[in-house]
Amino acid sequence: MIGVHMKVLILAGGYGTRLSELTSTMPKPLVDVNGKPLLLYIMEHYARHGFNDFIIACGYRGEKIREYFSKNFSMDRSSEHGAEDAPITFTNSNGPKWRVTLVDTGLDTLTGGRIKRCAKYLDGDEFMYTYGDGVSDVDLKKLLEFHHRYGQMATICAVRMPRFGVVQLDNAGKVTSFQEKRLEHSPLINGGFMVLNKSVLDYIEGDKTAFETTPMQILSEKGELYAYRHDGFWKCVDSLRDKMELEEILKDGSPWKD
């Protein structure tokens, strides 16, 4: 049985250029982290909170994501057929039931465009939305409660940037001081793990719209964008260094597990 009936949209179509050592042959969400794709850690976190109905917005090396689910999941007989880019739905037959729908959202489509291309599969008035390269121990049910409490159109998860180096220079450009600030002194940033009402789609023009620019700026100006502050664990795998750090963290178990 599928858990909480709310779609979880995960972006997995970017080029991952800052992790090019590993992403020349695969999309970043499939990068191996201690024997398991990064994407799977994210999905397991959602499933742990009862959100088991996923839409994966594919793009760069999308065939690799399709290959992964074909090998590890069962194809749903209700999947659409015909067009080459028709979505394919898989279910997890081993263990808790998941529904996973893969949607080809184009190679160079920006984040807002990927959301809009998935619109027809987002049933209901709201959905979860995140990126395929960040893990966290955020309480997703509390995040949803926060979203409902204020009744806004969009809620982001605000987190502290783990590394924030402060550099002081002399007139010649020589570094006179370098300090890597602690987490509590770092600025709050958008950590993904959002809850969006489907009405936000009205602010996305098309493929060349990055959701984090004009749409979110408009929502902010209209008072429709709130932030749920998360001070717990959060890690974005944006570089080889990030991957190695996460693997070291995982040696002692996943910090986002209950």
Amino acid, res. 25: T
The yes-or-no verdict on residue 171 having pLDDT over 70 is: no
160 in a domain, yes or no? yes
The yes-or-no verdict on residue 174 having pLDDT over 50 is: no
36 in a domain, yes or no? yes
Q: How far apart are the first and last CA of the chain?
A: 21
74 in a domain, yes or no? yes
Taking a C-beta distance cutoff of 8 angstroms, is the pair 133, 237 a contact?
yes
257 in a domain, yes or no? no
pLDDT, position 162: 61
> Using a CB cutoff of 8 Å and minimum separation of 24, what contacts does 30-38 make?
30/61, 30/64, 30/65, 30/68, 31/237, 31/243, 33/237, 33/243, 33/246, 33/247, 33/250, 34/247, 34/250, 34/251, 37/68, 38/132, 38/133, 38/135, 38/237
Of 35, 36, 39, 34, the C-alpha closest to 16 is 39
Q: Which residues pair with 165 in a beta bridge?
A: 180
| CA 55/CA 237 separation, integer angstroms | 21
Residue 197's alpha-carbon distances to 122, 144, 176, in angstroms, are: 10, 11, 48
pLDDT, position 126: 96
Instruction: Give residue 19's pLDDT band: very low, low, confident or very high (50, 70, 90).
Output: confident
The yes-or-no verdict on residue 62 having pLDDT over 70 is: yes
**pTM for this predicted structure:** 0.86
Label residue 57 left, alpha or beta by phi (over 0 means left) and psi (-120 to 50 means alpha).
beta
| CA 187/CA 163 separation, integer angstroms | 10
What DSSP designation does 162 have? S
pLDDT (tens digit per residue) in 103-121: 999 999 999 999 999 999 9
113 in a domain, yes or no? yes
| CA 92/CA 251 separation, integer angstroms | 26
Residue range of the domain that includes 72: 4-250
| CA 229/CA 190 separation, integer angstroms | 10
What percent of the chain is predicted at pLDDT more than 90? 56
Instruction: Give residue 249's pLDDT band: very low, low, confident or very high (50, 70, 90).
Output: confident
Q: Please report, for the domain that includes residue 106, its CATH number.
A: 3.90.550.10
258 in a domain, yes or no? no
255 in a domain, yes or no? no
Which of residues 2 and 158 earns the better pLDDT score?
Answer: 158
Q: Which of 25-39, 71-85, 224-238, 242-256 has the lowest mean pLDDT?
A: 71-85
Instruction: Give residue 23's pLDDT band: very low, low, confident or very high (50, 70, 90).
Output: confident
Across 184-203, average pLDDT: 88
| Domain total in the chain | 1
Q: Look over the chain and give the mean of its residue pLDDT values, rounded to a whole number.
A: 84
78 in a domain, yes or no? yes
